[in-house]
Amino acid sequence: MHGIELHFIHEPGSGINATPLLLSHGWPGSIVEFLEIIPLLREHFTVVAPSLPGYTLSFKPGQPRFGVEEIADCFAELMTRLGYERFAVQGGDWGAFIGSRLAALYPARVIGLHLNLLAVRRDPKIPAASPEEAEYLRHLAYWLKEETGYQAIQGTKPQTLAYALTDSPAGLAAWVAEKFHTWSDGGIRRDDLLANISLYWFTGAIGSSFWPYHARLHRPWPFETVGVPVGYAEFPKEILRAPRSLAAKTYTDIRRWSVMQKGGHFAALEEPRALAGEIVEFFRSLGG
């Protein structure tokens, strides 16, 4: 498919007329993030959870490199091949960008989009229209200055970094584990973290997983606005939490906005029951 062998989990729903739901993970995650949440969703959804192209089980040496744009097209074709003309979408991290791109390009096919990260433009110099926006822009400026070194090297010199991390399991573990430590709310089990790191190590896929960053840095923003119904779960330790007033400029039909009590960037892994409940309630409100 699109020149690669795409790995995915396809878990049929247990309920009658279960809605197809496409789950997309991000970096440095994998389908390990979804192993606990999928059983919680099966009563309402038939779950399709791909490994992103270039990530772990969707990687082999020499295959084409994909950015957000190509991944979205690939996932749209996957859902077509599985027989799902219309489907629900959920994602965080790169999954939020992929889901937003899908919703922007294929709005007739996307029933609704649920996110636990808002893929809004990151410009700390825009004028603030409220105290909430001002606080967010202050945090954004700090985050861009102090927490985006990984994006710079993965987006400009991905192959150089890949040699080092593919050569050293300790180096790979440190590179990945730092993100799980910094971006989470402390809810990551050691076995899940090791399973995730091991997938990258044994498939040799850490270098190819950098390519969405290279594409993002060298291409225009992958979508302008999203007009399908959107639900958002704001976890308190998420890396960036744009206020609703700014999010609404990108997502023009926000139907549900929930402030969660606990959790961070890896919500499906940290708080699977809370996230599953939000997904179910959002799509139930749409009749899905």
Q: Which residues are known to be catalytic?
A: 93, 213, 265
DSSP string, 182-238: HHS-S---HHHHHHHHHHHHHHT-TTGGGHHHHHHHHS--S-S-B-S-EEEEE-TB-
Q: Which amino acid is at 161?
A: L
Place of tokens 């795409």: 6
- C-alpha to C-alpha distance for 219 and 97, rounded to whole angstroms: 14
- Strand-strand pairing, 110-115 and 19-24: unpaired
First to last CA, the chain: 28
273: which 2 tokens? 């029951």
Pair 81, 75: CB distance under 8 Å: no
Would you tell me the crossing angle of helices 94-105 and 68-81 to the nearest 10 degrees? Answer: 70
